[in-house]
Amino acid sequence: MKSNVIHVCYSPRYYAHTHTNSMEKLAAVAEVLAQKSYIELVEPELIDVQLLKKLHDPHYVDAFVQGEKPLASAQGFKQWNEQLRDAVLSVQGGQLKAAELAFQYGISANIAQGFHHAVYECGLAYCTFNGLALVAQHFPHKKIFILDCDQHGGNGTAEFTLRLHNLFNYSIFAIPFGCAYHERSLTHHIDKQEGSFEQYVKAIQQGFNNAIAWGADLIIYQAGMDCHQHDRFGSAWFTTELLKQRDHLVFSLAKKITFL
Ligand SMILES: [Zn+2]
């Protein structure tokens, strides 16, 4: 079904005040998108905790939901509180809602953070639960391909490809972060100093070739922004204009292979 708007999942509950701005920037993005005529914001429910227990160690899920340290803070947010819990559960709910909308309309988005470092046993590096692997867990008959363009390798998602046969991780990064190469986890390192946008473009095109060859039903684009040259982890050559070009390329290639 075609739609003349892009459905974007977001809830004011996504906002959580932490010692980083990790979950505050989501509200800033939503504020800008709400002004656009071609965007329709959709408010998701909090995820059913039982669904998270099918993906992660149930002991870890319970610890996070109940605020039991140290596991509840394994992802690095020092202060656990109910606002943080509900923000995380809402963003995860948004992942499933956005996937449903993408299957329905061909495209959707979730204004999200914090997925790709989370492993089965616990969270890591501001990632509480792996919302990328979650989509594969929830739609077992669909092939879910992750195009991860965060500056850090998606180690958690790479691990989950060993548990979920309908999950493929393709990670383009400068900082490996333990992101391992497996049968359905391909890693593409591009150097922070010596790399170039030409290499990056080739890596994206290769990613799409892999998605097509595998027969992906859904591509989830994790549009990491920490590769920007002004980020403390960023690549020296990655300007704002090039980030725009990167995103334009990804959506153009996706549109070519979308039949809706
Ligand atoms: Zn990162």
CA of 162 to the centre of ligand 1 (A): 22
Q: Which amino acid is at 137?
A: Q
CA of 234 to the centre of ligand 1 (A): 9
Contact between 209 and 141 (Cβ < 8 Å): no
106: left (phi over 0), alpha (psi -120 to 50) or beta: left
Q: Quote the CA–CA distance of 96 and 216 in Å, as a whole number.
A: 17
Other beta carbons within 10 Å of 74: 20
How many C-alpha atoms does 6 have within 13 Å on its Cβ side? 14
Instruction: Provide the whole-model pTM.
Output: 0.96
Provide CB contacts within 8 A for 79, sequence distance 6+: 18, 19, 73
CA of 260 to the centre of ligand 1 (A): 32
First to last CA, the chain: 6
CA of 156 to the centre of ligand 1 (A): 12
Report the CATH fold assignment for 1-138.
Arginase; Chain A (3.40.800)
How many C-alpha atoms does 27 have within 13 Å on its Cβ side? 11
For the chain, 260 residues long, give each residue's pLDDT as a single digit of tens: 778 999 999 999 999 888 887 788 899 999 999 999 999 999 999 999 999 999 999 999 999 999 999 999 999 998 899 999 999 999 999 999 999 999 999 999 999 999 999 999 999 999 999 999 999 999 999 999 999 999 999 999 999 999 999 999 999 999 999 989 999 999 999 999 999 999 999 999 999 999 999 999 999 999 999 999 999 999 999 999 999 999 999 999 999 988 55
